[in-house]
């Protein structure tokens, strides 16, 4: 097993167990104790885990500094995103007036929408194209286009949204944390997400399990402000903080 593969395996084990010993890791990863100890030292130096005597514990917060492009995000956790989207689409009713956020999981949501009389507002350029392709009633907010996420953001977008009152909004997020809430990478994108939640009867976050425990630059809502649809939750504390639906 390559070094990066071992790192990924160790971190996945920690996400499930929260604490693990060196001996357990040697059996689960299939590497020697000396190799596992070196891996733990390296991952601890990178801030990916806490190395303790005889093993490691999961960190409570992982701060993310950089955002992947849409093309990269599209390749990550695809089956989980599909499962989340398939459940989320069952929540859409014909009389809904819905805001759909930019993001790769919300794009899958639109893929699964059948014929509907619901009306949709979006700040995602690909989302708007998909909605129109399906013949759905589509509105797009105006503002500044952000290339990395293919989203319309900023003060103009927020002002455009103030006249709307949504029955539901479906949003993506870069991180979910008990203390820091739902976070995204920049202020302008956070403003749109906050406004969508403030003008929605029901706020729904679509996020695969890799987003839990991560924190990015800007909080757009506390964790209690929206329910979450995800593939699975590894930490029971999140279930106590808000409504969560697990789909896998």
pTM listed for this prediction = 0.79
Of 116, 52, 30, 111, the closest CA to residue 124 belongs to 111
Q: Quick check: 127 and 121 in contact, CB under 8 A?
A: no
* CA atoms of 86 and 31, how far apart (whole Å): 38
Q: pLDDT band at residue 76, thresholds of 50, 70 and 90?
A: confident
Domain chopping of the chain, boundaries? 3-59, 70-246
pLDDT at residue 17, rounded to an integer: 79
pLDDT at residue 69, rounded to an integer: 67
What is the per-residue pLDDT across 167-213, written as a single tens digit (0 to 9) for each? 999 999 999 999 899 999 989 999 999 999 999 999 999 999 989 98
What is the per-residue pLDDT across 89-137, written as a single tens digit (0 to 9) for each? 999 999 999 999 999 999 999 999 998 999 999 999 999 999 999 999 9
Mean pLDDT over 142-168 rounds to 94
Distances (CA, A) of 176 to 69, 105, 124, 181, 189: 19, 15, 21, 6, 16
Do the two domains 3-59 and 70-246 of this chain adopt the same fold?
A: no
* CA atoms of 22 and 46, how far apart (whole Å): 18
Q: How far is CA 245 from the centre of its chain?
A: 14
Say whether domain 70-246 belongs to CATH 3.30.70.600.
no
pLDDT at residue 193, rounded to an integer: 97
What is the per-residue pLDDT across 6-44, written as a single tens digit (0 to 9) for each? 998 998 888 777 789 999 999 999 999 999 999 999 998
Q: Quick check: 35 and 67 in contact, CB under 8 A?
A: no
| Residue whose pair of structure tokens reads 């706020």 in the numeric block | 203
CATH number of the structural domain 3-59:
1.10.10.10
Q: How far is CA 240 from the centre of its chain?
A: 19
Q: pLDDT band at residue 77, thresholds of 50, 70 and 90?
A: confident
52 contacts: CB under 8 Å, gap ≥ 6? 19
* CA atoms of 14 and 60, how far apart (whole Å): 11
Of 169, 183, 209, 193, the closest CA to residue 80 belongs to 209
* CA atoms of 83 and 99, how far apart (whole Å): 20
The percent of the chain in helix, strand and coil, each rounded to the nearest 5, is: 40, 25, 35
Higher pLDDT, 102 or 235: 102
């Amino acid at each position: 097993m390559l070094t990066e593969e071992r790192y990924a395996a160790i971190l996945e084990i920690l996400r499930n167990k929260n604490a693990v010993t060196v001996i357990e890791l040697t059996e689960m990863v299939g590497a020697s104790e000396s190799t596992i100890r070196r891996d733990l030292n390296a991952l601890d130096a990178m801030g990916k885990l806490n190395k303790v005597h005889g093993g490691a514990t999961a960190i409570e917060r992982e701060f993310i500094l950089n955002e992947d492009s849409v093309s990269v995000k599209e390749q990550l956790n695809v089956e989980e995103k599909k499962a989340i989207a398939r459940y989320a689409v069952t929540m859409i009713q014909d009389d809904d007036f819905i805001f759909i956020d930019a993001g790769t999981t919300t794009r899958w949501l639109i893929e699964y929408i059948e014929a509907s009389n619901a009306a949709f507002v979006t700040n995602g350029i690909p989302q708007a194209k998909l909605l129109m392709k399906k013949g759905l009633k589509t509105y797009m907010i105006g503002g500044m286009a952000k290339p990395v996420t293919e989203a319309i953001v900023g003060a103009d977008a927020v002002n455009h949204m103030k006249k709307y009152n949504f029955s539901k909004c479906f949003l993506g997020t870069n991180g979910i944390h008990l203390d820091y809430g739902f976070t995204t990478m920049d202020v302008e994108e956070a403003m749109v997400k906050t406004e969508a939640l403030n003008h929605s009867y029901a706020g729904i976050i679509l996020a695969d399990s890799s987003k839990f425990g991560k924190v990015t630059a800007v909080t757009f809502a506390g964790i209690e402000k929206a329910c979450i649809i995800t593939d699975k939750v590894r930490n029971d504390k999140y279930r106590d903080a808000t409504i969560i639906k697990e789909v896998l």
